[in-house]
Structure 1
Amino acid sequence: MTGGGLEVGTSTLISGPAGSGKSTLAAQFVHAATKRGEPCAMFLFEEARSKLLNRADNVGMRLQAALDTGLLNAQQIDPAELTPGEFAQAVVDAAERGARVIVIDSLNGYMHAVPDERFQSTHLHELLNYLGQRGVVTLLVGVQQHMPGTCMTTSADASYLADSVIMLRYYETEGEVRQAISIFKKRGSAHERSSRRFEISPQGIRIGPALAGFHGILSGLP
C-alpha cells in the first residue's frame, strides 16, 4: 500500500479515531525494524510502557526482547515534568545514539507539551527536519476524527508537515464495526489509492481486500 515501505529520512503521520489501531501499527514498524537489527526509540505520552508491551505481545510482537538487547528504547513522557526543549533534546539524543525509527505517541500529547499554539507547528517542523537530515524514519501517532483539511486540529495541521499520512477509520457492515486503512498521502513514491480492511488479531496485523463497495470511509460516514 505504501509503494514499498517508508523511505529513510521521512516522517509519517498515522491518523485515526481512538482505538482504531494507530499505536499497534506504529509498533509494527518498530518491530520490523528491530528484527532487522535497527535501533528504535518510542516516546509515549498517553500510554504506560507496560501497557504497550502487553498489547504488542498479544498480537505477536515481542518488543520486550528488543528492549532487553538495547535495540529499543521506550520512554514514558510526562509533559508536566518535561519542557518542550527537554523533550526535543531527548528525541535528538535518541537519533544521535543511532535510532533509525522514532515514534512519538501521541502527537496530541506532544502538542500539549508546547502550550503556546503559535509555536507548535514551528517546533514540530524543526524537529522533523532535523530527524529527516539524520536519516531517521519518524512516526507520529495522531487522534483525528475528520479528513485533513476539513477541520483545523493538531493532527490536521501535522498532516501538511508529514511526508506521508496513513489513515485508519471505522466502518459498519453486516452488523459489525470494522476498521479500514488508507494511504492518504505519500511524497516521493507511488502508493495505493484504495481503502482496505484492517484487522488486528493474536496472529498480528492483517490487511484485507480493497473495500470496493463503499464510499465515504475516509470521512468516517461510509
Structure 2
Amino acid sequence: MLGGGLIKDSVSSLIGTYGTGKTTFAISFIFEGLLKGETCVFISLDERAEMIMESIRRRGYDIDTYLNKTFFLIKLDPTDFTLAINSIKNDIPALIRETKASRVVIDPISLFEGLLPDEATRRLEMFRFVEMMRDENCTLVLTSETDTQIPYASKYGLVEYLVDCVVLLRYVRASDLSGTHLAVEVVKMRRSQHSREIKPYEIQPDDVIVYSEASVF
C-alpha cells in the first residue's frame, strides 16, 4: 500500500482514534529497524515507560536486548509545559545526533500540539519542529489522535499538511450494524506511487496483518 515502504528520512503521521493501533504500528516500525541493526528512539507523551515496555514484550519482541544500546525510550510529561517544549526542541535532536538514530517515533504528537496556546502559535511551532527534524537524518513517525468531529482528520487538522506521508487508521461499521472492522488508508505519500484503496487489518497478539487483497465494503 505504501509503494515499497516509508521513504528514508521522511516524516510520516499515523492518524487514528483510540483502539485503532497507532502505537502498535509505531512499535512494529521501531522493531523492524532494530532487527536491521538501526538505532531507534521512541518518545512517549502518553503512556508510562514501563507500560510501553510491557506492551512491547507482550507482542513477543525481545526489546531488552536493545534497550539503552540501540533502542532508547523517552517519556515526557506533557503537563510540564516548559520541560516538554524544551525537550522536544533541544534534548531530543541532541539525542538523535548523539546516538545516530535512524528511526524516531513521537506518540502522540497531538499532546505536544495541545500544549501550545493558540492556533497561530501551534502552526508556527509545528512547522519549525518538523523542519528541524528533517535536518536530523532520521525517518520520523508521528502518531496523532483524530478530531472528535471529523474521523478523517488529526485532532488539530495540522500535522497532515506538514508531513510527507499520512496513514489513516479507522473503524468501519457494517451497514446492518453486524460488526465493526478496522481499516487502513494511505491518504498521502509524497514521492511514491501509493495505493488509494481502503483495506481491512487486524491487530493480533504478535503481529498486525493488513489484508491487501480484501475489501472493507
Normalization by structure 1: what TM-score? Answer: 0.86
Q: Corresponding residue for 2:179?
A: 176
Whether 1:77 aligns to 2:109 is: no
CA offset at residue 196 of structure 1? 1.2
Residue correspondences, number = 209
Residues 122-167 of structure 1 deviation map (CA, whole Å, 9 limit, x = unaligned): 222222222222221111110114223xxx842x211000110001
RMSD of aligned alpha carbons: 1.9
Q: 1:213 to 1:116 in 2, by over 3 A?
A: closer
Sequence identity percentage? 22
Measure the CA separation in 2 of the matches of 1:205 and 1:106. 19
Q: Corresponding residue for 1:31?
A: 31
Q: Corresponding residue for 2:211?
A: 208
CA offset at residue 10 of structure 1? 0.9
Letter in 1 for 2:24: T
Contact kept in structure 1, 2:123 and 2:158, CA below 8 Å:
yes
Structure 1 residues not aligned, in runs of 5+: 215-222
* Over 4 Å off, 4+ runs: none
Q: Corresponding residue for 1:55?
A: 55
Structure 2 residues not aligned, in runs of 5+: none
Measure the CA separation in 2 of the matches of 1:202 and 1:213. 22
Normalization by structure 2: what TM-score? Answer: 0.88
Letter in 1 for 2:111: G
Measure the CA separation in 1 of the matches of 2:66 and 2:182. 29
Q: 1:83 to 1:49 in 2, by over 3 A?
A: closer
Contact kept in structure 2, 1:171 and 1:179, CA below 8 Å:
yes
Q: Corresponding residue for 1:143?
A: 145
Q: What is the correspondence of 1:161-200 to structure 2 with a 5 Å cutoff?
A: 161-173=162-174, 175-200=178-203
Letter in 1 for 2:51: K
Identify the range of structure 1 (107-116 vs 192-201) with the bigger mean alpha-carbon deviation.
107-116
Letter in 2 for 1:74: L
Measure the CA separation in 2 of the matches of 1:20 and 1:197. 11
Letter in 1 for 2:130: L
